[in-house]
Amino acid sequence: MRTAHTVDTVRRAEAELMARLPEGTLMQRAAAGLTAACAELLRSGSGSGGGRVYGSRVVVLAGSGDNGGDALYAGARLARRGAGVTAVLLAADRAHPGGLAALRAAGGRVADDPFDALDTADLVLDGITGIGGHGGLRPDAVPIARAARGSRAVVVAVDLPSGIEADSGEVPGEALRADLTVVFGTEKPGLLAGPAREYAGTVRLVDIGLGGILPSVPALEALQHLDVAQLLPEPGAASDKYRRGVVGIVAGSARYPGAAVLAVAGALRGGAGAVRYVGHATDAVIARFPEALVHAGPPGKAGRVQSWIVGPGLGDDLDAVAEVLAAPVPVLVDADGLRRLAAEPALLRDRAAPTLLTPHAGEAAALLDTTREEVEAAQLAAVRELATRYGATTLLKGATTLVADPDPRTPVRSNTMGTPWLATAGSGDVLAGLAGSLLAGGLSARDAGSAAAYLHGLAARRAAADGVPVTSYEVADALGRAWRDVRETGGS
């Protein structure tokens, strides 16, 4: 599991640890980890260097805080290993004194012209701001950040990409996009929530000894293969198709029969014992999936299910939404079902069984009575607000998918396994089917949503592995491979 803690929590844990250690220890641990990561990058030939630390050209962008200190100390270590290191001081009179002295002592120097230095750099260390940064890059840092990004150098963010908000994941102005972020002690929420997450590149955690001090419940977390493997249901000797769970799907319409087919395709790969389709697309569903049970009447007459999915491609025939929400089983509401809910939130009022809402940013905006742009700019705040306001577990789709429970103390789950190839019509229908199927298998709404988002992203990566566009149907088809991947690596 990847975990992220808030800035306050990190500062408290660091203070406690620092009180027990000689001064400067933590910063040296951070700088040592950072140096190792940079050396590895340089040796791998990333950037434009010759695959060595010795002789490579490193530029340190140092702000006025401890983030700059980390970067300067790492610069000093790289200089001692033979790199040519130049510091660009964003606030020359307030640069970290110890870090700057160490850099000079190691043979590093301060740049006369930042743009000249960046022009020939192999690697840029971004130490402008870390957890203390607010309000985006200041105007004087903007041209330097742009020149760094525009250069041939590989950009390594120190703790966080400068310009992002550590706790909210918001990016209020410009920020410096990194190829690699070397984060200290624990991840910060902004590394797991969009839009900030998209600035981080690959994230590498350096242990500075906070492990036993940080609270065990993080603010955010992200499943990895092993976690997903442990969540996935597995039939045993006593299983039959009903005990494995039956998932009911109310989706599709004469106008959008494909949504029904895709939701069923996702559900068939989610481990439920049977998939019961209800709606106007029975012919299309049965033509593709003879194993589906189909019913053309209202959901209440379709037979028992352990979970419902309602909404994909329903169009304007939305009476079934209220009917399904009245059922005492877990319900996943997607697409047109969410439109119905935005118009009548009271439909959720009397529900005791779990509810999982799966909006994309546009649907989330309608549910929150705001704009898509506002949701996209503050995804973490939006998913939390949806979950508390509607009293329902909410999965907010996007490049980063977030899943929040109504109880604000429960860590928000982040899924970064997606790929932009998933931005294709119908992929959300596959996700809904998969997550609903996992609900029928007995997973909580939060586990079902986050495990589904993970498998869905992994399947899309597999299907698009050779760089060709994938269709939503192919994503569904690759779910079996994704399932196998997590089982094999995660062991079960």
Ligand X SMILES: NC(=O)C1=CN([C@@H]2O[C@H](COP(=O)(O)OP(=O)(O)OC[C@H]3O[C@@H](n4cnc5c(N)ncnc54)[C@H](O)[C@@H]3O)[C@@H](O)[C@H]2O)[C@@H](O)CC1
Ligand Y SMILES: Nc1ncnc2c1ncn2[C@@H]1O[C@H](COP(=O)(O)OP(=O)(O)O)[C@@H](O)[C@H]1O
Q: Which residues bind ligand X (CB under 6 A)?
A: 14, 18, 26-27, 30, 63-68, 70, 129-138, 141, 158-159, 184, 208
Which member of 399, 442, 444, 481 binds ligand Y (CB under 6 A)? 399
Helices (H), strands (E): how many in the chain?
A: 17, 18
* Contact yes or no for 431/453 (Cβ under 8 A): yes
Sign of CA dihedral 419, 404, 244, 428: negative
* Contact yes or no for 56/123 (Cβ under 8 A): yes
Q: What is the dihedral of CA 176, 10, 446, 490, to 10 degrees?
A: 80
Pick one of ligand Y, K ion, ligand X, none as the site partner of residue 26 (Cβ within 5 to 8 A by kind): ligand X
What tokens were used for 191? 């590394």
User: Binding of ligand Y at residue 398 (CB under 6 A)?
Assistant: yes
161 vs 418, which CB is nearer to ligand Y?
A: 418
User: Binding of K ion at residue 117 (CB under 5 A)?
Assistant: no
Binders in 407-426 for ligand Y, by CB under 6 A: 418-420, 422-423, 425-426
Binders in 191-210 for ligand Y, by CB under 6 A: none
User: Binding of K ion at residue 158 (CB under 5 A)?
Assistant: yes
Binders in 349-378 for ligand Y, by CB under 6 A: 360
Instruction: Compute how many other C-beta atoms are within 10 angstroms of the C-beta atom of residue 282.
Output: 18
**How many Å is the maximal CA-CA distance in the chain?**
80
Pick one of K ion, ligand Y, ligand X, none as the site partner of residue 126 (Cβ within 5 to 8 A by kind): K ion
Half-sphere exposure of 270 (CA within 13 A, CB side): 38
Nearest distance in Å: CB 38, ligand Y: 28
213 marked as part of a ligand binding site? no
Cα(448)–Cα(28) distance, rounded to whole angstroms? 41
135 marked as part of a ligand binding site? yes
Which member of 162, 186, 307, 358 binds K ion (CB under 5 A)? 162
Nearest distance in Å: CB 312, ligand Y: 7
* Contact yes or no for 147/120 (Cβ under 8 A): no
19 vs 468, which CB is nearer to ligand X?
A: 19
Q: What is the dihedral of CA 448, 454, 456, 457, to 10 degrees?
A: 160
138 vs 255, which CB is nearer to ligand X?
A: 138
Nearest distance in Å: CB 335, ligand Y: 6
Sign of CA dihedral 438, 439, 442, 448: positive
Q: Which residues bind K ion (CB under 5 A)?
A: 67, 126, 130, 157-158, 162
Residues in the annotated binding site for AMP: 397-401, 428
Q: Which residues bind ligand Y (CB under 6 A)?
A: 360, 397-399, 401, 418-420, 422-423, 425-429, 431, 456
